[in-house]
Structure 1
Amino acid sequence: MNKLTGKVAVVTGGNSGIGLACAQAFAAEGARVVVVGRRQDAVDAAVATVGGDAMGFVGDVADLAMHDRLLAAVKARFGAIDIYVANAGTAILEPSDAVTVENYDRQFATNTRAVFFGVTKALPFMRDGGSVVLTSSIAGSKVLDNHAVYAGSKAAIEAFARSWALELKGRRIRVNVLSPGPVDTPILAKLGIGEAARPEFDRQMATAIPLGRLGLPEDLARAAVFLASDDSAFVTGVNLRVDGGMSLA
């Protein structure tokens, strides 16, 4: 245990779902965690859940000026960053002929532009030998219904990771991608899968996923700890699919 003792980890979208599970797992391994989210109440609740020396920061990653304020606050509190998890994202699932410019721009602003500038702005604050983890999706490489724009926004950050892995080799900063399959998080309800629809949805997922179940946030958090820690010291530029084998089906 204590694989991340002495490390400072920033997790965007860290107030719920996969991000919160990552923040909790990092803290359990000894890291000091910065939870970034859009709502004060959710961030406060997440910080209380993470515990320890956790810090909360409220802002929208799509607002590029927010990243400058975040990094200034992190520097003042902790001095530097060792781990940066670009996890915040949004999904609007609809057929391509229904996509509006507004919905297109919203997904690319949050899922792509915010990741690019969030990481590049963070790099001067990151210690050499650090780790960057980008949360993508199996939709970046597996065709799923109504995912065209979302998939494109996620595929782009996979390309960023490959480029950065080489660009940052001189600083020994590793850059990797974490690609979840379907995960049991609050986003399911936001996508219209309510309580009444869950039994049928779970049955469909059990059929589509070779390991026979939805992922759990903790499944992704364990993988994130691997990518953030020295357990993956010889791993960079990879896309780690944590999807129960769904991308193979």
Structure 2
Amino acid sequence: MKGTTFTVQKALPLMGQGGSIILTGSSAGTTGAPAFSIYSASKAAVRNLARSWAEDLKGTGIRVNVLSPGPTATELAKAAVGEEGMKAFAAMNPLQRMAEPAEIGAAAAFLASSDSSFMTASELAVDGGLAQI
């Protein structure tokens, strides 16, 4: 929470009127995750920070949203959980696969762009439906 808070505090004066703040959440912030209670709680807190900051920044044109990726097929993930772990994560969501990093990047680009100009205080779940069922 400190890193998120301090980063936004330092960035706000540089933003002027308008712009997009994208906070990183997680599907674990919606559903909780066994053995990751602190992580899950911190990601739920990020969702509420976005909602509160959107209200605080009313009238500035600055939007605050959360991008919540699900399990993503990165080299770090593969090294951490191995091939069997990757299969287990893929089986957790209705699409039966992990996200590719480019898919998460595309969602971030959308939130940063004018295509999402009427979105604030929102959470964009890019998790294959994991947090929705």
| Residue 185 in structure 1 maps to residue 64 in structure 2 | no
| Correspondence for 2:3 among 93, 107, 114 | 114
2: CA distance, partners of 1:156 / 1:187: 25
Residue 167 of structure 1, CA deviation: 1.1
**SS across alignment from 1:169:** coil
| Residue 214 in structure 1 maps to residue 98 in structure 2 | yes
CA RMSD of the aligned region, Å? Answer: 1.4
Residue 189 of structure 1, CA deviation: 4.5
* 1:80-95 paired onto structure 2 within 5 Å: none
Using the aligned pairs only, state the percent identity: 46
Deviations 1:119-140 (A, max 9, x none): 0121011131100000110111
Contact 2:27 2:70 in 1 (8 A): yes
Q: Structure 2 length normalisation: TM-score?
A: 0.92
The structure with the largest alpha-carbon Rg is: 1
2: CA distance, partners of 1:222 / 1:209: 20
Q: Structure 1 length normalisation: TM-score?
A: 0.51
**SS across alignment from 1:208:** coil
| Residue 176 in structure 1 maps to residue 65 in structure 2 | yes
* 1:65-144 paired onto structure 2 within 5 Å: 112-144=1-33
| Residue 234 in structure 1 maps to residue 118 in structure 2 | yes
**Paired residue for 1:145?**
34
Q: Select the structure with the greater relative contact order (CA < 8 A; seq sep ≥ 6).
A: 2
